[in-house]
């Protein structure tokens, strides 16, 4: 499965656009992380825990999008975009979406 | 096509300035703004509150304390009842010599405590402490204080002070996000603390005029201030009550001088016969000899 | 009075440690940027094609970072909010966030021996309640990897 945020693949021919596929992941950090974040809000600096959490979320959302794409027989997902929205103070949704396509020489 | 990344100059997207200096400047500006708003809110609240009808003021006051100066139960000691009756009778006599709006009524309360104070509050309620009455040697001085407190009520000073305090409190609790509880406590003290010096001076002027009309002279009218000066001289260590009184009232010496100047301007008699206090109010340690002025 | 002292201590702590953290971070960013300038990342949407261009395999690469504002920055921005104007304390925060996220994206592209990163996009989100001040910056793009190198890696 090729995942790309380009609109086309330079060396391959897209034969069919087969719809929008998407993956989402809503996660929250545990209280301990929030306490640490509260401290960091005094000193400043990177919130490593949050960085990792959001990255994990993004990986999961991407995997879900790939699963959707696979289920409809796609060879690639193009023009992929990310979006983030905070649902409550503690939780964030990571959303990934893109165009599922079939390619000429991918069976 | 050739692709490369070149390093742009630093600091184009970030303003170079001293954050500390800016923080200090803005803090000062914010404090000035809050003080200005505080003054505006106090003044506006006080001004608006004067338009509240006296009957409404009375209803508000009745939520805070009993309408009857003798309490609801009627179990007050005999001397308290007698003192209260005498004070209210004196108030009626003083009011004959003042311009009182028709819908206004004065209720005098007697507080059996050694505090040297008297104050007017919402709804035409005037409070006299035993400590003050005991230290005033004659009725002339008592009438002066009474007229002074009644003048506050007539000028709507208590409701104005209360309105100013409430609106300033609303502002402050909005600015601080409700963090300052002290303000709440301060403004619920509806006592003397919220009168300005301007209000006090005006009340003095009206009161001295009433005393002159009542007795034909102003001898003994400034006895309150003389008594206060004497008290603080007698016991310089224990100045808490004096400080509290003086912090809102013009300096005693200034008030004595102001009264004398007013008397000179109006060619009022400075000397005259002093009237003894009503019997019910003459008890206690009042050992100050009347002085010829 | 007690709460005021706590406030001043927090303010000073934020000011000193925040400044140290910021200076250190910026220094590290500049150093790594100079190293990774050999791997161009561009916002162009159309990848190179035609004669002499190697056959590229592509891979979506991302880099993200969550950076918290310090107490002093948060306080100062609150003050600036009263009067309006340039919120300078957050300018540097956002600047560092964007550059750090791009660097991490480039680092992951570099790890798979990419030549270029194309169609780079930034995505910025606020984390936690407003006013507390923490931001997430995500940078993502398509890494173009010369084909033989990818197979060698895999």
CB A54 within 8 A of CB C64: yes
Q: What is the pLDDT of residue B234?
A: 65
Q: How many CB pairs under 8 A join A and C?
A: 123
- What's the rounded mean pLDDT across residues B28-50? 89
Output the domain CATH number for residue C143.
3.30.110.70
**Using CA atoms, how far apart are residues C99 and C139, in angstroms rounded to an integer?**
9
Which member of C80, C91, C116 has the closest CB to residue B14? C91
Neighbours of chain C (3+ CB pairs under 8 A): A, B
Q: Does C92 touch chain B (CB under 8 A)?
A: yes
Q: What is the pLDDT of residue B74?
A: 58
Q: Is position B258 within any domain?
A: yes
Locus of tokens 């040697």: B137
Give the residue numbers spanning the domain of C35.
Answer: 2-153
Locus of tokens 């959490």: A53
Q: B147-159 pLDDT, tens per residue?
A: 999 999 999 888 8
Instruction: Name the CATH superfamily for A2-103.
Output: Hypothetical protein apc22750. Chain B (3.30.110.70)
Subunit contact A37:C21, Cβ cutoff 8 A: no
Q: C33-76 pLDDT, tens per residue?
A: 999 999 999 888 887 776 667 778 889 999 999 998 888 998 89
Please identify among residues 8-67 of chain C the ones whose CB lies closer than 8 Å to any CB of chain A.
10, 13-14, 17-18, 21-22, 25, 45, 47-49, 55-56, 58-60, 62, 64-67
Subunit contact C42:B14, Cβ cutoff 8 A: no
Alpha helices (H) in chain A, listed in sequence order: 31-43, 48-71
> What is the residue extent of each domain of chain A?
2-103
Domain count, chain C: 1
Q: What is the pLDDT of residue A77?
A: 93
Strand arrangement, sheet containing A91-103: A2-3, A76-86, A91-103, A14-28
**Using CA atoms, how far apart are residues B167 and A30, in angstroms rounded to an integer?**
43
- What's the rounded mean pLDDT across residues B247-269? 75
Q: Does A80 touch chain C (CB under 8 A)?
A: yes
DSSP string over B107-146: EEEEE-S----EEEEGGGEEEEEHHHHHH--SHHHHHHHH
Mean pLDDT, chain A, rounded, equals 85
Q: What is the pLDDT of residue B239?
A: 47
CA distance A39 to chain C (A): 9
Subunit contact C70:A55, Cβ cutoff 8 A: no
Q: Is A19 left (phi over 0), alpha (psi -120 to 50) or beta?
A: left
CB B86 within 8 A of CB B78: no
**Using CA atoms, how far apart are residues B108 and B119, in angstroms rounded to an integer?**
10
Q: Is position B286 within any domain?
A: no
CA distance B8 to chain C (A): 11
Checking if the pLDDT of B169 tops 90, the result is: no
Q: Is position B288 within any domain?
A: no
Mean pLDDT, chain B, rounded, equals 78
CB B57 within 8 A of CB B67: no
CA distance C40 to chain B (A): 5
Model pTM score = 0.69
Half-sphere exposure of C32 (CA within 13 A, CB side): 17
- What's the rounded mean pLDDT across residues B49-68? 78
Subunit contact C88:B19, Cβ cutoff 8 A: yes
Domain count, chain B: 1
Helix B139-154 × helix B223-234 angle, to 10°: 110
Q: Is position B146 within any domain?
A: yes
- B9 interaction partners in chain C (CB closer than 8 Å): none
- C75 interaction partners in chain B (CB closer than 8 Å): 23
Q: What is the pLDDT of residue B251?
A: 65
- Closest-approach residue (CA) in chain B for C89: B19
Nearest to A17 by CA among A64, A74, A65, A67: A74
Helix, strand counts (H, E) of chain B: 11, 3
Q: C110-152 pLDDT, tens per residue?
A: 999 999 999 999 999 887 654 567 888 999 999 999 887 555 4
Highest-scoring range by mean pLDDT, B67-71, B173-177, C101-105: C101-105
Q: What is the pLDDT of residue B111?
A: 86
Which of A25, A29, A44, A83 best probes binding to C when mutated, by most C CB atoms within 10 angstroms?
A44
Q: Does C1 touch chain B (CB under 8 A)?
A: no
Neighbours of chain A (3+ CB pairs under 8 A): C
Q: B216-228 pLDDT, tens per residue?
A: 888 888 787 777 7
Judged by average pLDDT, the poorest of A31-40, B121-130, C64-73 is A31-40
Q: In Å, how far are A4, B145, B154, B266 from B140, measured between CA atoms?
A: 98, 9, 20, 19
């Amino acid at each position: 499965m090729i995942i790309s945020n380009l609109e086309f693949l330079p060396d391959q021919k897209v034969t069919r656009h087969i719809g929008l596929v998407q993956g989402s992941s809503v996660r929250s950090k545990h209280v301990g992380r929030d306490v640490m974040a509260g401290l960091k809000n005094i000193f400043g600096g990177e919130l490593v825990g949050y960085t990792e959490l959001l990255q994990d979320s993004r990986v999961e959302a991407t995997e879900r999008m790939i699963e959707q794409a696979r289920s409809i027989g796609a060879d690639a997902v193009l023009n992929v975009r990310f979006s983030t929205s905070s649902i409550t103070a503690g939780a964030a949704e990571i959303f990934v979406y893109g165009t599922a396509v079939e390619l000429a020489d991918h069976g | 096509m050739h692709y490369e990344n070149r390093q742009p100059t630093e600091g184009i997207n970030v303003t170079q300035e001293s954050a500390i200096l800016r923080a200090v400047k803005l803090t000062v500006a914010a404090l000035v703004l809050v003080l200005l708003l505080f003054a505006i809110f106090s003044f506006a609240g006080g001004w608006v509150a004067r338009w509240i009808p006296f009957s409404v003021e009375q209803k508000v006051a009745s939520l805070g304390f009993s309408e009857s100066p003798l309490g609801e139960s009627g179990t007050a000691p005999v001397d308290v009842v007698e003192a209260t009756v005498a004070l209210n009778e004196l108030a009626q006599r003083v009011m004959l010599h003042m311009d009182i709006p028709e819908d206004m009524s004065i209720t005098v309360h007697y507080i059996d405590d050694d505090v040297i104070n008297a104050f007017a509050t919402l709804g035409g309620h005037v409070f006299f402490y035993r400590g003050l009455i005991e230290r005033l040697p004659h009725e002339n001085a008592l009438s002066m204080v009474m007229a002074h407190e009644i003048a506050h009520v007539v000028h709507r000073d208590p409701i104005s002070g209360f309105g100013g305090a409430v609106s300033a409190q609303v502002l402050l609790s909005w600015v601080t996000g409700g963090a300052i509880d002290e303000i709440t406590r301060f403004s619920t003290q509806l006592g003397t603390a919220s009168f300005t010096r301007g209000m006090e001076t005006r009340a003095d002027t009206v009161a001295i005029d009433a005393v002159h009309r009542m007795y034909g002279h102003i001898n003994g009218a400034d006895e309150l201030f003389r008594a206060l000066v004497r008290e603080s001289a007698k016991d310089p260590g224990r100045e808490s009550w004096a400080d509290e009184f003086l912090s809102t009232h013009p300096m005693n010496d200034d008030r004595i001088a102001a009264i004398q100047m007013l008397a000179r301007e109006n060619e009022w008699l400075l000397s005259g016969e002093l009237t003894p206090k009503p019997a019910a109010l003459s008890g206690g340690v009042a050992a100050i000899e009347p002085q010829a002025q | 009075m007690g709460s005021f002292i706590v406030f001043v201590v927090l303010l000073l702590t934020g000011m000193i440690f925040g400044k140290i953290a910021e200076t250190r971070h910026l220094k590290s960013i500049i150093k790594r940027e100079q190293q990774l300038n050999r791997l161009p990342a561009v916002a162009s949407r159309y990848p190179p094609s035609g004669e002499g261009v190697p056959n590229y395999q592509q891979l979506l690469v991302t880099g993200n970072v969550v950076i918290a504002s310090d107490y002093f920055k948060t306080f100062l921005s609150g003050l600036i909010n009263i009067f309006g104007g340039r919120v300078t304390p957050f300018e540097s925060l956002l600047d560092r966030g964007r550059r750090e996220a791009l660097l991490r994206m480039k680092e992951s592209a570099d790890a798979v021996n990419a030549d270029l990163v194309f169609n780079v996009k930034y995505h910025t989100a606020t984390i936690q309640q407003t006013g507390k001040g923490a931001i997430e910056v995500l940078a993502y793009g398509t890494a173009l990897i010369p084909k033989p190198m990818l197979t060698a890696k895999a």
